Every structure is written in structure tokens, then in C-alpha cells.
Amino acid sequence: MTVPVATEWFLGVALSMVDTVAAADCVAQRDPALPFAYVVTPNAQHVVRLNRGDRGFQDGYAEAWLRLCDSQVLRLLARVLFGRTLPHATGSDTTVRLFASHIKPADRITVIGGGAALGQALTAKFGLTALAIHDPPMGFIGQPAEVARCIDFVLAHPARYVFLAVGAPQSEILARRIHDNGQATGTGLCIGSSLLFVTGQVKRAPLIFRRLGLEWLWRLALAPRRHARRVFIESLPLLGLALKARLRPAAGRHDRGASAP
């Protein structure tokens, strides 16, 4: 079965009203024989990209089954400017919850991205016996043949959980292509670096940073060159989008933003 989940629109994104525990439960309870459905995790950068009219990204979001609020900043703006409470369910926390409470060693798992080292780490930590990994080359999403290889790999390795670990917007675009193929089953999760966190290959921000909504600051401090553009150019415009929506006469509890996916 597919568990029905309520949604609410905020700044152009139909967010699923579930927290981390409920999101993981929904994914785990979904019948793996059902047609492929997938989960996306909107953060500040994603919301900005969607409102700027990134067609491929919007198309990826349009067919997503769950859209989990990954951003404490987005939640803060919703609460302060609109008096709304959005549940929090990051991709990383949902992945941790799945492995801690639901995924069993014999479950079929397919991963796109990450490479052999990730596969070895997952197998060593969780005792997985039915793991398949395909690691496409950099920039694969612009190469039809490589995208086709990814889809063929998913079809050749049917799994209950399909982790798409190739970063945004590649994960969302690929998820939509797998969905549109019509032959895949299981549940896809666009989860960024979550598998690196869950295996301990990359250290996540301390809990206090995450609770205060400052995980972005932790990442910026550790790798300023890598994350400066994401924080100041790709994510910061979220504040302007929220303020603009707040000043519109129709803005409020049911705001749909500038461009709904």
C-alpha cells in the first residue's frame, strides 16, 4: 500500500506534513511491488531554484510522492512571518531512521552514486546482503546514454529502497525519469550525502547546530569555498521570497508562492 499523506503549500512547494519518524514509517510501509514512487527533500536552495523556474527541477518535484521539509530556515520563516508550523524531516535524519528501525540485512537496496567505497561501508555497518550500486560519471544527467544506464540498472536490480545519491538537481531529474519509464518498482529517495553521514564517512554537524538550524554554518566553516556559493547565492534569496510572499495581500496560511511545481 501507499500511505496517504496530507500536504500544505508554502512558497511554491506542496510540503508533506510528516516529521522524520512518520516519513520513515511511510516509506517502510509502502508495498515494494507498487510502481516506483519517490521522495524529495526541499531545502532553502531547492525552494529558490523552484521559484526561479528551473523546469527540469520543477518537473522532478511535480511527480514526487513525498516532499519532506529539510530546512530549519524554511520552518523559521514560516513560523515568524506566517505563524505556521511545518514539520521537520531532513533527508539525513530520515535515512538514519530507515536504517535504524526498518531496513533489514536481506532487504534489496539499490544505490545510484557513491561508488565502491560507499557500498563497502554500507555492507560492513549494516550487514547488507542484497545491495547493488551504480556510480554514474560526473555530469551524467546531461548525457542521455548515461541516464539510460542508470534507469536500466534500477530496472535490472529491483529493490524496496532506491537511494539516489547524486545530488540536486540530478537526483530529482533522474527520479522523474525512472518514474516516467513506468517499469520500475519500489521507493526512491533523493537524499544527497545522507549515506555518507549514516556510514560515518562524512561527519555531520553536532546536534546543537542542527537543532538551532545552523547546520549550514557548520558546513560553511568546514568547507568555505565549497559551500559559500550555496549559502550566499543559491539559498539566501529565500529570505526575499518569503518577505515578498508575506507582503502580498493574499499571502498567509495557504500561500502557493510564485511557481508551484
Q: How many residues are there in the chain?
A: 261
Q: Which residue has the cell 495557504?
A: 254
**Per-residue confidence of the chain (261 residues) as pLDDT tens digits?**
666 799 999 999 999 999 999 999 999 999 999 999 999 999 999 999 999 989 999 999 999 999 999 999 999 999 999 999 999 999 999 999 999 999 999 999 999 999 899 999 999 999 999 999 999 999 999 999 999 999 999 999 999 999 999 999 999 999 999 999 999 999 999 998 899 889 987 777 677 777 767 676 666 666 666 666 666 666 889 999 999 999 985 544 445 443 333
Residue 61, pLDDT score: 97
Q: How far is it, in rounded angstroms, from Cα 51 to Cα 40?
A: 16
Provide the residue type at 177 as one letter. Answer: R
Radius of gyration from C-alpha coordinates of the chain:
18
Residue among 59, 95, 66 at smallest CA distance from 195? 95
Cα dihedral 67, 73, 75, 77 sign: negative
Provide the residue type at 123 as one letter. Answer: T
Q: How far is it, in rounded angstroms, from Cα 246 to Cα 255?
A: 9
Q: What is the pTM of this model?
A: 0.89
**250: helix, strand or coil:** coil
DSSP 53-84: T-HHHHHHHHT-SEE----HHHHHHHHHHH--
Phi, psi of 32 (to 5 degrees): -65, -15
State how beta strands 13-16 and 37-40 pair. unpaired
Q: Where are the domains of the chain?
A: 10-247
Q: How far is it, in rounded angstroms, from Cα 215 to Cα 13?
A: 22
Residue 256, pLDDT score: 44
Q: Which residue has the cell 568547507?
A: 223
Cβ-contact 23, 94 below 8 angstroms: yes
Residue among 10, 23, 188 at smallest CA distance from 86? 10
Residue among 135, 115, 113, 99 at smallest CA distance from 190? 113
